[in-house]
Amino acid sequence: MLKKFTLILVLSVLLVSLVSVFGFAEKLTVIGPWAGAEQEGFMPVLEAFTEKTGIEVEYKIYRFEDLVTMLPAQFSAKKTPGDLIFMSGTEWMVKNAEHLADLSGVINEGEFVPGTLVSKVDGKLLAGTFTGKIKPGFWYSKSFFGKHGLTVPQTWDEFVTLLQKIKMVPGIEAPIASGNGTGWPLSDVAEHFLISFGGPALQEDLIAGNIKWESNIVKGIFEKLVFLLKSEYFSEPAEWTTILKQWEKGEYALYFMGSWITGMVDNPDDLGVFSLPGCEGMVFGPDYFNVPIYSENIEDAKKLAAFLAGKEGQTISASSGGHIATNLGVPVEVYPTVDRGVAELLKGVQSLPDLDDTVGGEFQPAFWDQLKLLWVKPDRLDDVLEVLDEKMP
């Protein structure tokens, strides 16, 4: 009796392990943070890969914060939840270099927009880059501008004059809408000012911690922002999709947003965008991915990496709208009209990483939180900058 039972038990365990090892060996698991509509835009890329190579791909959603919690334990057990993982934390990837596969044989650096391939440690390329989203500047309705005789400013003074004029337009609550997700896009606005007036190098120095938030140069730039806040050119921070609707209705004129906004309005062709005059850098947030060395299908994963970073994968993504390619081989024609304008903007400027995404940790929520404070209490600038320095790692 006992013998029979043990035999059955052993057989079933064997069966289960066989099935789990071989039954799903062919399938790649891709992990990404997108869901809903964004996920719908991504799936065609994976499907095209399957069509081309015959390798099945499964997609799972995990946010960066969850990955940071889960991966260390998995990696130390030499396991990984995904064969290819999308995550925004490039610094994290550098810190965990030992667990990630080298993609330099698979991805050709020369093909990419300068500055977009990052996370290199000792010649090892830890992260591949897919398409991304840009935060170009202030979006406006072309018809609104036409109706009220407004023009795109070419200098700072013209910008301020523009804001004054907009304030006079009847029905306007405030010239610039301030969206408040969990704190961004306030952070995007702040970064745009820093880049425009301090140059691209300032963004990089701040990320690296080479310059303090309380330094004169940073303070001076923030004072420009504070000036606009005090003159009530910005609205109070409000839930960012509610305010999007109000912006469309004409209660606000300008909205600082990322390029994904083109997918969210009724009339994308009416949209125009301009950066602050003199801006030479733009926050470009490419979606980065890595391949952990513990992947059981590492060769297939590398193939997928090549596909995603390569012209083919990026073209599909770019054509779905709201995404800008990092691969220089993607022709401008594949973009939907309004995205073409955005892609043009990216030419000739340096692409920069998003500050709070890159620094992460305790700094990011503190950054958002302090900006929310600055927006309603602009005179507290000194305190805000002090806290930011405190919270830098």
Partner 1 sequence: MKIKIYKKIIHDGLAWIMAFIWIIPFLGLLMAAIRPMDELLHGWWNLETLNLTFKNFIGAWNHSNVPLNQGTINSLLIAVPATVIPVLIATMAGYGFSRYRFPTKRSIYILIILMLALPQQMIAVPIFSIINKLGLINNYFGLIIVHTAWGVPWITFFMRNFFTTLPVEVEEAAKIDGASDVRIFFKIALPIATPAIVSAVSLQFTMVWSDFFLALILMYSPEKLLATQRIPLMRGVYFVDWGLLSAASILLMLVPILVYTFFQKYYVKGMIGWSSK
Partner 2 sequence: MHRKATFTHLAIFILPALLLICVFVFYPCLRTISLSFFSEGKFSLHNYYEVLKSRDTINLKGFSKGFPLGTLFHNLLWIIIHLPLSTFLGLTLAVYLRNVKGGSIIKSIIFLGMVMPMITGGVMIRFIFDKNIGIVNEFLKLFGFLPKAWTAYPETALFSLIFGSVWLWTGFSMILYSAGLETIPKDLYEAAQIDGASSMKMFFKITIPLLKPITIVIVTMTMLWELKIFDIVYVATMGGPGSASNVLALQMYTYAFKALNFGKSSVVAVFLTIITLAVSIPMARSAGEGR
Contacts with partner 1 by CB under 8 A lie at 35-37, 39, 60-62, 66, 69-70, 73, 181-182, 239-242, 245
CB of 373 to partner 2, least distance (A): 3
Of the candidate spans 116-124, 139-147, 197-205, 362-370, the one that interacts with partner 2 by CB under 8 A turns out to be 362-370
3-state secondary structure of 354: coil
376 binds partner 2 (CB under 8 A): yes
Is 320:43 a contact under the CB 8 Å cutoff?
no
**Which residue of 238, 264, 293, 298 would you call a contact of partner 2, by CB under 8 A?**
238
CB of 297 to partner 2, least distance (A): 31
* CA distance to 54, 57, 188, 198, 393, per residue, from 356 (Å): 39, 31, 9, 17, 12
Q: Which of 164, 186, 172, 167 is nearest to 238 (CA)?
A: 186
CB of 270 to partner 1, least distance (A): 20
Rank residues 181 and 277 by Cβ distance to partner 1 and give the closer one.
181
**Which residue of 370, 378, 381, 385 would you call a contact of partner 2, by CB under 8 A?**
370
**Which residue of 60, 78, 147, 377 would you call a contact of partner 2, by CB under 8 A?**
377
Q: What whole-number distance in Å separates Cα of residue 346 and Cα of residue 5?
A: 68
Count of other CB atoms within 10 angstroms of residue 63: 15
Supply angle C-alpha 274, 275, 278, rounded to 5. Answer: 130
Q: What whole-number distance in Å separates Cα of residue 72 and Cα of residue 75?
A: 5
96 binds partner 2 (CB under 8 A): no
236 binds partner 2 (CB under 8 A): yes
Name which of residues 65 to 84 contact partner 2 (CB under 8 A).
69
Is 181:240 a contact under the CB 8 Å cutoff?
yes
248 binds partner 2 (CB under 8 A): no
CB of 46 to partner 1, least distance (A): 17
Supply angle C-alpha 115, 119, 123, rounded to 5. Answer: 100
Q: What whole-number distance in Å separates Cα of residue 175 and Cα of residue 168?
A: 9
Rank residues 32 and 136 by Cβ distance to partner 1 and give the closer one.
32
Tokens 């400013």 map to which residue? Answer: 153
340 binds, among partner 2, partner 1, none (CB under 5 to 8 A by kind): none
**Which residue of 12, 182, 210, 267 would you call a contact of partner 2, by CB under 8 A?**
182
Exposure string over 72-84, b if 16+ CB within 10 A, otherwise e: eebbeeeebebbb
Rank residues 83 and 205 by Cβ distance to partner 1 and give the closer one.
83
113 binds partner 2 (CB under 8 A): no
* Helix extents (H) in the chain: 2-18, 36-53, 64-76, 90-95, 142-147, 156-168, 186-198, 200-208, 216-230, 240-249, 298-309, 311-319, 337-346, 355-359, 363-376, 381-391
237 binds partner 2 (CB under 8 A): yes
369 binds, among partner 1, partner 2, none (CB under 5 to 8 A by kind): partner 2
56 binds partner 2 (CB under 8 A): no
240 binds, among partner 1, partner 2, none (CB under 5 to 8 A by kind): partner 1
Return residues touching partner 2 (CB under 8 A). Answer: 69, 180, 182-183, 236-238, 242, 361-362, 365, 368-370, 372-377, 380, 383-384, 387, 390
